[in-house]
């Protein structure tokens, strides 16, 4: 057990899916995994381990924001030897051709600041996804017929943003969407030699101001989970 994860050694699978919402972790485990069992309840950050097509999988909530994700990803990697970590979550669209319900595969993640900033100091390190996972996820999405975009995203360290000028520059430079966790996940994967990817569902849009109705979210998020699982074991 660690400070934030109450699982025993062997309870965590080498492949971990990481939604921000612990209750989304519960839903995904109950929906997609066989024989899923709860392996973490510390601070209400639920985690579950089961199998998908015979492959062991853990689905562990990460909380909101890069500091929270950093805690769980560090412990999953250093204490439980997780090898593949895939963020599954929602994002806001930032390009007119990116539509509500589309999936974004984050090739890179730009950010103002991450918990790793103290290590990099003056260096603008460019964190990116594992190419094998990225290519596999793209193939899986294509086979499912899910509209999918591959490119850069913006990992913001605030939810209630008061920098419209910065958002304008993100749009200008082709950033597909904004979320709050992927950049630090990619930093940690690079540091420890692990595979990482962010598979994101566009749930709202910064340009059109559309938002995905709550009753439609389960099916749409289900596509994202299936793409992530298929990519992990392709």
The annotation places the binding site for a purine D-ribonucleoside at 4, 179-181, 203-204
Q: Is 165 a catalytic residue?
A: no
* Enclosing H/E stretch for 224: helix 217-232
Contact 5, 13 (CB under 8 A): no
Dihedral (CA of 183, 186, 187, 188) sign: positive
* Torsion sign over Cα 225, 145, 200, 212: negative
Query: Choosing from 79, 139, 157, 204, which is the catalytic residue?
Result: 204
Question: How far is Cα 45 from Cα 115, in angstroms, rounded to an integer?
Answer: 20
- Binding residues for phosphate, as ranges, are 20, 24, 43, 87-90
Q: At CA 72, angle to CA 226 and CA 146, rounded to 5?
A: 20
* 120 exposure class (CB count in 10 Å sphere: 0-12, 13-18, 19+): exposed
Angle, vertex CA 112, rays to CA 178 and CA 177, nearest 5: 10
Catalytic residues: 204
């Amino acid at each position: 057990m660690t400070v934030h994860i109450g699982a025993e050694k062997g309870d965590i699978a080498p492949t971990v899916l990481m939604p921000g919402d612990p209750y989304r972790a519960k839903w995904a485990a109950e929906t997609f995994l066989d024989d899923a069992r709860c392996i973490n309840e510390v601070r209400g950050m639920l985690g579950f381990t089961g199998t998908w097509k015979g492959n062991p999988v853990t689905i562990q909530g990460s909380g909101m924001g890069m500091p929270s994700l950093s805690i769980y990803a560090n412990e999953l990697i250093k204490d439980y030897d997780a090898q593949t970590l895939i963020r599954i979550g929602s994002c806001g669209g930032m390009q007119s051709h990116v539509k509500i319900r589309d999936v974004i595969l984050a090739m890179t993640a730009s950010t103002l600041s991450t918990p790793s900033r103290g290590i990099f100091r003056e260096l603008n390190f460019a964190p990116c996804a594992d190419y094998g996972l990225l290519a596999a996820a793209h193939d899986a999405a294509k086979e499912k017929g899910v509209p999918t975009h591959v490119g850069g995203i913006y990992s913001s360290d605030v939810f209630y943003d008061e920098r419209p000028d910065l958002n304008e520059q993100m749009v200008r430079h082709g950033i597909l969407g904004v979320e709050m966790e992927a950049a630090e996940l990619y930093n940690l994967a690079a540091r420890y030699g692990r595979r990482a990817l962010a598979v994101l569902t566009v749930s709202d849009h910064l340009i059109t101001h559309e938002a995905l109705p709550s009753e439609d979210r389960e099916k749409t998020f289900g596509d994202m989970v299936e793409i992530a699982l298929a990519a992990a074991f392709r």
